[in-house]
Amino acid sequence: MANVLNTLIERRKNKVLMFALLDPDKFSPDKAKQLASRKEMGFFDAFLVGGSTTIWQDRVDSIVRTLKENTDKPVIIFPSSISNLSPYADAVLFLSLLNSSSTFYVIDQQFQAAPIIRKMGLEAISTAYIIMGDGGTAGYVGHARPIPYDKPELVEAYALAAEYLGFKLIYLEGGSGVRTPIRLEIIKRVKKITHVPLIVGGGIRDWKYIKSLEECGADGVVIGNLLENENEFENFISQSPRERSEIKPF
Please give the residue ranges that form the binding site for ligand 1GP (CB under 6 A).
21, 138, 173, 176-177, 201-204, 222-226
**Rounded least distance, CB 95 to ligand 1GP, Å:** 11
Grouping H, G, I as helix, E, B as strand and the rest as coil, residue 108 is helix
For 106: left if phi > 0, alpha if psi spans -120 to 50, otherwise beta; the answer is alpha
Give min distance, CB of 165 to ligand 1GP, in A.
22
DSSP 15: S
**Which residue, 5 or 204, is less far from ligand 1GP as judged by CB?**
204
Describe the crossing of helices 184-193 and 207-215 by its angle, rounded to 10 degrees: 30
Shortest CB 119 distance to ligand 1GP, Å: 26
Minimum distance, C-beta of residue 200 to ligand 1GP, in the bound complex (Å): 8
**Minimal distance in Å, beta carbon 42 to ligand 1GP?**
19
Min CB(167)–ligand 1GP separation in Å: 17
CB of 2 or CB of 55, closer to ligand 1GP? 55
Nearest to ligand 1GP of 1, 141 (CB atom): 141
> Of the two residues 141 and 154, which places its CB atom closer to ligand 1GP in the complex?
141
Chain length of the chain: 250
CA-closest candidate to residue 45, choices 66, 22, 19, 69: 19
- Answer for the pair 92, 125: CB distance below 8 angstroms, yes or no: yes
In this complex, which beta carbon is closest to ligand 1GP, that of residue 5 or of residue 223?
223
Crossing angle, helix 152-164 and helix 184-193, to 10 degrees? 30
Nearer to ligand 1GP, 6 or 229 (CB): 229
Q: What are phi and psi of 132, to 5 degrees?
A: -125, 170
Of all residues in this chain, which one has the CB nearest to ligand 1GP in the complex?
A: 201
Calculate the dihedral angle through the C-alpha atoms of 108, 110, 111, 115, rounding to the nearest 10 degrees. 150
